[in-house]
Amino acid sequence: MTERFTGTFTQQEAIPEAGIEAAIAVMRHGRLHRYNTAPDEVSETALLEQEFAEYAGSQYCLAVASGGYAMATALRALGVKAGDKVLSNAFTLAPVPGAIASLGAVPVFVGVTESLTIDLDDLEGKLGEARVLLLSHMRGHICDMDRLMAMCDAADVKVVEDCAHTMGAAWNGVPSGRHGAIGCYSCQTYKHVNSGEGGFLVTDDPHLAAKAVMLSGSYMLFERHLAAPPKEAFDDIKYDTPNISGRMDNLRAAILRPQIADLAAQCRRWNDRYTTLEDGLRDTPGLTVIDRPAKETIVGSSIQFLLLDWAASAIRDVISRCAARGVELKWFGAPEPVAFTSRYDSWRYAPSKPMAASDRVLAGIVDMRVPLTFSIEDCALIARIIRDEVSRAHNRMSA
């Protein structure tokens, strides 16, 4: 009998009861705006910032409306202006080049390797074109950050890390988001904590932190933050920094605080599921598993594999056959964007030139979400289905 998966790839776990109770309390008192507090009250948002700064090991943290807003704010804080070039990954999701384009700046795309990380050799050749790199740890894959930072520091290129897929991950023991000048995170539903939308910006630089707080729309209420620099850091910027409102509200913060407290345990659960999937897919004919370096501490909230040099029709056939058996795969090789699977040559607001080696990799990337609503047994079943359909397709091509 042909096996079939009957679960859903978009169903997340419920918000923890502590988050639900805290959110109800916020709704009962009605003080949703982060600066709307009772006498001697500390807002949920300020507490969340303090707790995430402690979790990330950063001096400063700002909670904002989305991960995309965090990235655009980070670029503004670094002084990126219209017309400036900003280096970024060819393999990422649209909010990353979107953050650059939202400032009127111009993305300069850097290639992707078969490890699904930024091509450091390509980056080295392009460092002279820009003074900022917006580095996407796309789908949780972290490059050799020691080499990247050495290159960027030598070229005086500032690094902003997009950690939408790596909250809780690390390179060589350093948490993701803590190598560069600024780290940005997402709290959108399909990320590692869930408030529907939301994000964080972390840094150890008091000037950058103060700029970000003012940009977020703090008015002159920055002293109500627990994870912001001292008021002296605002003296030279508070009258000259535009308000580009993007604050997080107390309702989202209340939902997030218990999730941050439990994040380490959740990351272990994701990795248990990822390992089951990876083990089940390994040694499948025609399928390349992405080996993870020993220095990389992962959070396996999604999994990718490569069908390198396969005909587009064969990849579509695999995806279609897996879908018929309940397994939802996404492909980054389609000529037109489908849902979130756009790529650098899809974003017509951002000029680009073909990159043959990267295009070969992109044409073979298959992607799958791993929600925590999946059991270990679910993951084993999904791996068997993918393995079966890829093997069948490979045999047909080899016949």
d(Cα 280, Cα 110) in Å, to the nearest integer? 32
Half-sphere exposure of 193 (CA within 13 A, CB side): 30
Give per-residue pLDDT as tens, 174-188: 999 999 999 999 999
Q: Quick one: tokens of 58?
A: 């950063």
Give per-residue pLDDT as tens, 45-72: 999 999 999 999 999 999 999 999 999 9
- DSSP label at residue 118: B
Half-sphere exposure of 383 (CA within 13 A, CB side): 23
pLDDT band at 338 (very low <50, low <70, confident <90, very high): confident
Domains present along the chain, CATH in parentheses: 17-261 (3.40.640.10), 263-398 (3.90.1150.10)
pLDDT beyond 80 at 1: no
Could you tell me the pTM of the whole model? Answer: 0.97
- Using CB atoms within 10 Å of the CB of residue 317, give its burial: 0 to 12 exposed, 13 to 18 middle, 19+ buried: middle
d(Cα 174, Cα 169) in Å, to the nearest integer? 9
d(Cα 242, Cα 104) in Å, to the nearest integer? 16
d(Cα 397, Cα 399) in Å, to the nearest integer? 6
Closest CA to 67 of 209, 238, 243, 192: 192
- Tell me the mean pLDDT in the region 353-375: 97
Query: In 175-190, which positions are buried (b, 16+ CB within 10 angstroms) versus exposed (e)?
Result: bbbbbbbbbbbbbbeb
Coil, helix or strand at residue 135: strand
